[in-house]
Chain A
Amino acid sequence: MQLDIGTFPVNTVVFDSETLLDEDELKISRAELQALLQDDPRIAGLEIEIVKPGESARVIHVCDAIEPRIKVSGAGGCYPGVVAPVTTVGQGVTHRLHGMSVVVSAEYPRLLETGTGAAQEAILEMSGPGALSPLSKLINVVVALKFAPGHSLADYHQAVRLAGFKVAERLAETTREKTPAHVKHYELTAVPSGLPKVVYIHQSLTQLNLPVPFITWYGSYVTDWMPLLVHPNEILDGALLPGAQGGHAVKPTSWEHVNNPVIERLYQAHGKEWDFAGVIFHRTRFEVFEDKQLSANQAAKLAKLMGAKGAIITWIGAGNAFIEAMLTVQALEKEGIKAVLMTYEHGGKEGREAPLMYTVPEADGVVSVGSLDRPIVLPKVDRVVGGDDLNIKPESGDERVSGKEELQLDWYLPVQSAVDHWGFGKQTCVEY
């Protein structure tokens, strides 16, 4: 499986009468993009805005962020199962607009009052202490939707998702006939013998019994699946995607999925330090301990069958899905496979409490990417996009507040992608 990704760096995005890419300037026709989505009966209103890194701006009701990518040659299309057929991807030539994303914003009605399916606020900061994720360093084209009444959560979700990917696809289309600034080749080539095989165990929680269980594989909802062997190029072409039901700190966006830095780094050392043997996608958040154990054992079994000597494990989510992460470390080490786990930590408001909710003695190689638990203050901003006001804790009867105001948050959770599951950034925790 050979994939060439051609990058078109975008340094400016402006509104214009036509949608086109002029060197590193992307021109966008608002009218054209609006026309693209106007036939969807679930969408009652639609606005398109641009926010830039460093700007005193905040996007609220964030559902997803998407990197514009298209397949210009080879089988299938980018983001298969959503805006392309389910043809196996990861081959041919893909173009991408880099340095920008399409952010979809919509406030879901509270059809579910509490529980994991209840709509939760997600905020994207373009500057200040909350600008923690790679998304804050991008020029973001925000597609802000208002829903027409009377549809189900699953219907609204589909509308949000389609809107984001259609716009992203249209923008990526501007690159089709052009030559990328640079091209990177991704292939799991045969390597000199003697290099140890390593695998990436890519864990994602999904939530069963909800209209949208969060993660999709080629557009298909991942429910209580057992671990699956995946080619990293499939992920780079957008086969593995999060849902768009409203994300937050512990739910990485589509942009992060296709730019996963663990895959990038494993590829970089391929053929030099080791033989990158592939990705094991591991669905987590089983609700019975034995199922957690079983899935961990199965992931370790696949790794063993692949001949792995080492593995990097990442996970996303919060709470009980972490048990699988630890059990997998244990199962790997028992098979003689060296495991490194990357995780955020807890620790409470001051970092004086236990950093991890569950541990195994085998977890001797853990990388910390920061904490979810610390309070954070998002300062007042000049501009809010995606709506006027928001409510962080509707279940406790809190009032809606202006989106421009200072927001004092108990923890990072409402800040989209503030937790760095895959190690894009340099946050960590150290002992004092």
Chain B
Amino acid sequence: MSRKKIRIVHYLNQFFGGIGGETEADTGLQIREGAVGPGTGLRQVLGEKGEIVATLICGDNHFSNQINEVLPEIIAAIKRYEADVVVAGPAFNAGRYGFACGEVGKAVAEQLGIPTLTAMYPENPAVETYRKVRGVWILPTEAMAKDMPRVLPKLAEFLQKVMSGVELGPAKEEGYIPTGQRRLVFTSVPGAERAVNMLLAKLNAQPFETEIPTERFEHVAPAPPVKDMKTARVAVITTSGLVPRGNPDHFKMFNATEWRKYKLPDESSLHGEDWEVIHGGFNTAYAQKNPNLVLPLDALRRMAGHAFGELDNTFYTITGVGTSLKTAKEAGEEIAASMREARVDAALLVAT
């Protein structure tokens, strides 16, 4: 049985689609049969392996301004042409074009479940936004379009690899931009020897590469200040794993997956005999004896009415040890929603 040709739909902006430069950036979506512009080059290197069945061309401004209308049209076209894979770009260092390629890839992955290949300059802002989308593969390019002749053969080769169904190797080996997943693998050299070799390279000013690039955390914009603390309603969150005696919701000492809210007692303080601290990451003896150390109820009761308005009678708790960022993020959003419902103005989070 002869192997079927890979059916490709290619996405281009107005410039690479041959319509024109910046002045034509408002051009609406055009659908052409066969290959256009860089697609003709791609077709050449693919030869009998694949076929560009259609090219979708859209002005960069039109895409970003009319995204809600144009994306469904793009998806419908890709479906109509029974594409096996989508190629978008290369976009090089063009910001809006990169964004369009990423958005197309994301929508294709989510709605059609087929892969999208694109290529751009690693510092194109779209790379950081879309490289982690499953089903979107980004190959690195130089900043300028003169890199096209080098990129197209790589794109063709990578496309065949993706479509062959064999699992892809690590980003560095295969030449794609990392997708944000770090996988456990076995190397050929023991860790201690790699450390010694790295130190030797560092000492001798030879090139070396760290095995864990340090990442930046997402920037969270601070909330505006509380206008009048005297009337503010305050709620407390603790990551100490403080729960009522008996651990009614079966909190675990590690790897929390759930948060809970419990009622605060009407008393002026928390008493150790009524509570338990379920946490495997710190010595819980102090907090077990005096829970106010991880949820300062005694101080808050004393200060309510003058230092701040009133205390919400519910507190929020989670075991903050080995908690995944995803869990923490979800818990944060859910807790915030719950607080909003309880008309809370300000929150204190006690982290152990």
- A–B contact at 8 Å CB threshold (below): yes
Give residues in A with beta carbon < 8 Å to B: 112-118, 120, 196, 198, 207-210, 261-262, 264-266, 268-269, 273-274, 309-312, 318-320, 338, 340, 342-343, 345-356, 359-361, 363-371, 373-374, 393, 395-397, 410-411, 413, 420, 422-432
With A115-B283, A319-B321 given, is the CB distance from A430 to B196 under 8 Å?
A: no
Q: Are A395 and B203 neighbours in the complex by a CB distance under 8 Å?
A: no
Q: Are B171 and A397 neighbours in the complex by a CB distance under 8 Å?
A: no
Q: Across the interface, which residues of A come within 8 angstroms of B324, CB to CB?
A: 348-349, 353, 373
Q: Are B196 and A266 neighbours in the complex by a CB distance under 8 Å?
A: yes
| Interface flag for B20 (CB, 8 Å) | no
Q: Are B192 and A342 neighbours in the complex by a CB distance under 8 Å?
A: yes
Q: Are A429 and B184 neighbours in the complex by a CB distance under 8 Å?
A: yes
Identify A345's interface contact among B182, B189, B193, B208, CB under 8 A.
B182
Give A232 to B185 CA distance when docked, in angstroms: 31
Q: Are A369 and B191 neighbours in the complex by a CB distance under 8 Å?
A: yes
CB distance from B201 to the nearest CB of A (A): 8
Q: Are B199 and A424 neighbours in the complex by a CB distance under 8 Å?
A: no
| Interface flag for B251 (CB, 8 Å) | yes
CB distance from B272 to the nearest CB of A (A): 13
Identify B195's interface contact among A117, A342, A346, A349, CB under 8 A.
A342
Q: Across the interface, which residues of A come within 8 angstroms of B170, CB to CB?
A: 430-432
Give A348 to B217 CA distance when docked, in angstroms: 15
Q: Are A364 and B210 neighbours in the complex by a CB distance under 8 Å?
A: yes
Q: Are B247 and A319 neighbours in the complex by a CB distance under 8 Å?
A: no
Q: Are B283 and A208 neighbours in the complex by a CB distance under 8 Å?
A: yes
Identify B198's interface contact among A318, A365, A374, CB under 8 A.
A365
Q: Are B192 and A355 neighbours in the complex by a CB distance under 8 Å?
A: no
- In the complex, the chain A residue whose C-beta lies closest to that of B252 is A396
Q: Across the interface, which residues of A come within 8 angstroms of B202, CB to CB?
A: 310, 338, 340, 365
Q: Are B199 and A432 neighbours in the complex by a CB distance under 8 Å?
A: no
Interface residues of B in 214-264 (CB under 8 A from A): 214-215, 217, 241, 247, 250-255
Q: Across the interface, which residues of A come within 8 angstroms of B179, CB to CB?
A: 431-432
| Interface flag for B117 (CB, 8 Å) | no
Interface centre among B208, B210, B212, B284 (most CB of A within 10 A): B212
CB distance from A214 to the nearest CB of B (A): 12
Give A413 to B247 CA distance when docked, in angstroms: 22
Identify A365's interface contact among B208, B277, B322, CB under 8 A.
B208
Q: Are B281 and A319 neighbours in the complex by a CB distance under 8 Å?
A: yes
CB distance from A416 to the nearest CB of B (A): 16
With A351-B184, A393-B253, A422-B192 given, is the CB distance from A340 to B325 under 8 Å?
A: no
Q: Are B252 and A395 neighbours in the complex by a CB distance under 8 Å?
A: yes
Besides the known contacts A113-B276, A431-B179, 4 further A-B residue pairs in the complex with CB atoms under 8 A apart? A342-B191, A346-B322, A353-B325, A423-B194
